[in-house]
Amino acid sequence: MTKRSRPTPGRSRLAVRDLFSEAVAGILQRPARSALTALGTVLGVGALIAVLGLTGTAASQIDARFNLLTATEVVVTDVAPRNAAAPETAFPKDADARITRLNGVNAAGVYWTVRLGPDEAVRAAPVGTANSIDARTQVIAASPGIWSATDARFVQGRAFDSFHDRQQQAVAVIGEATARRLGITTLRTHPAVFIGGTSFTVIGILKDVERKPELLLSITVPRSVAERTWGTLDDEGARMLITTRLGAAGQIAQEAAVALRPERPEYFKVTPPPDPRSLRGTVGDDLSQLFLLLAGVCLIVGAAGIANTTLVAVMERTGEIGLRRALGARGVHITLQFLAESTALGLVGGLVGTSIGTVVVVSVAAARQWTPVVDPATLALAPALGLAAGLLAGLYPAWRASRIPPVEALRR
């Protein structure tokens, strides 16, 4: 006949159900303190969910942005040998028309930075008067197609066109910031800018561009006028910006050089758009690493808050600990009790933080009219992360509570 095992006399036992009830009672005894204690974990886990969700949501938007901009842009650079006898660009006069005739091209424009002399300052009035800016202001020569290629929008006036270019009219388009620096507020008075001793009538003030943002801080003049006035190019040479329909950039990159100069295609270096997948991955990884670091800091701060509050609770409940020890509770029981309380606080903080983080992701996506993206595995693991933070935070206070002698605890 098998004998049933009996508990060892004088040894107390703590059931899991009793441990759970004691932990709940300890948390509900001071609900306000428990809520504030769990706040750090709530913020840490909530930040983690929000960061991962917003990063995933933004990745799809980055993908779309790259497809619309980067993946539809081809740049052609003039690399022809140049000397004093032939300083002009290798791009033909009708370069815009040649490229736009290719199937899949939306717009194309040639541009380069004008090389100014040391005494050729840019002013809104003749030399010797006020309202001038220094020679570091960029002057860009461009063909009329540049405005369609960059999707330029104007706050006042208009862009120069093929008529201005053919007639070599001294007109200019300036960015809104440059106009403010020059003191130009309206085009009704037909203001002019002076580049060295040459005046250019301002016919348009740029508000924004989708591509080539340097145009917003520059003075842009027709290509023919720049060639007549300054002649030579800068060290970087001329470039052509080509915008294409989605999916046509690779084909246009192969055809552009031949379309521009069939007899000398080697005069041009064509740069196709980068792979959007690798570029998107790089940006997404950088964002994830940065924001995950911030979320980790929040979680550490939350764990420190739980540890500090649990330690204070141990000091305040010394009498209770002494009474439990006097009634037979062992040190391991005291340790488990405080560990259960801190772990429960961490779990509650993790659950609340997960909910708040999910709401943040959905709200931001709805406000921006995006599609929210949240990994289900992240939602499942986030509460466990809060539980682990609470468990680790309670280790030292629980050990400290178990080391208090019963007699000393009762004296307090």
Digitized pLDDT (tens) for each residue of the chain, 412 residues in all: 444 445 454 555 666 676 777 767 767 777 777 777 677 778 778 877 887 787 777 766 665 555 556 678 899 999 888 654 445 788 999 999 999 999 999 999 999 988 877 777 777 766 555 445 554 678 899 999 999 999 999 999 999 999 999 999 999 999 988 888 888 888 998 899 988 778 999 999 999 998 888 899 889 999 999 988 887 565 577 999 999 988 888 899 999 999 999 998 999 999 887 665 555 555 556 556 666 676 677 667 666 766 776 667 666 666 667 677 766 777 777 778 778 877 888 888 889 988 998 998 889 888 888 778 787 887 888 888 888 877 887 777 777 777 777 666 555 5
Q: Tally Cβ neighbours within 10 Å of residue 283.
A: 17
Where are any strands of DSSP class E within 27-158?
73-78, 105-113, 122-123, 132-133, 139-142, 153-157
Cα four-point dihedral sign 379, 385, 387, 390:
negative
> What number of H helices and E strands is found in the chain?
13, 12
Reduced to 3 states, what is the DSSP secondary structure of residue 410? helix
pLDDT of 2 reads 47
Domain boundaries, the chain: 16-65+278-411, 81-263
Contact 228, 150 (CB under 8 A): no
pTM over 0.85: no
Query: What is the reported pLDDT for 345?
Result: 81
DSSP H helices in 69-161: 95-100, 146-149
- pLDDT score for 392: 82
DSSP helix/strand/coil, 403:
coil
Contact 109, 144 (CB under 8 A): yes
Residue that has been written with the tokens 């840019």 in this structure: 122
Question: How high is the pLDDT of residue 369?
Answer: 81
How many Cβ atoms sit within 10 Å of the Cβ of residue 401?
A: 26
> CA separation (Å) from 118 to 137, 182, 195?
12, 20, 11
Q: Which two tokens stand for residue 177?
A: 């910031």
Pairing of strands 153-157, 122-123: unpaired
